[in-house]
């Protein structure tokens, strides 16, 4: 079962991570980053964002976000994704 606190932060970050248009994202894909943050419940967490080609280079872009409580707890984190269609 996914932690609701981690899921809330992952969903919020996915909105931000996918706010750019395909044209802007295509310039940086593939790319990813990770940062420290504070969850809605006040816990220190790590958030990782990835921009990947969904199937083939130049096509749809897969935006993935994972929020977790530390390196040893990555597998218990919340992961969400969204596909940004090529126009």
Q: Dump pLDDT digits (tens) for 7-20.
A: 999 999 999 999 99
Sketch out the chain's domains with CATH numbers: 4-84 (3.30.1300)
Phi-psi category of residue 53: left, alpha or beta, with phi > 0 → left and psi -120 to 50 → alpha: beta
Distance CA 56, CA 28 (A): 15
| Pair 45, 38: CB distance under 8 Å | yes
Count of beta carbons in the 10 Å neighbourhood of residue 50: 17
| Pair 8, 39: CB distance under 8 Å | yes
pTM (two decimals)? 0.91
pLDDT recorded at residue 61: 98
Q: What is the pLDDT of residues 5-51, one digit of tens each?
A: 999 999 999 999 999 999 999 999 999 999 999 999 999 999 999 99
pLDDT recorded at residue 2: 85
């Amino acid at each position: 079962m996914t932690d609701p606190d981690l899921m809330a932060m992952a969903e919020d970050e996915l909105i931000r991570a996918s706010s750019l248009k395909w044209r802007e994202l295509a310039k940086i894909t593939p790319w990813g980053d990770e940062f420290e943050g504070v969850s809605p419940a006040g816990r220190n967490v790590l958030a990782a964002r990835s921009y990947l080609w969904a199937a083939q280079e130049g096509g749809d872009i897969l935006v993935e976000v994972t929020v977790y409580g530390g390196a040893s707890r990555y597998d218990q984190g919340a992961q969400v994704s969204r596909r940004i269609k090529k126009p």
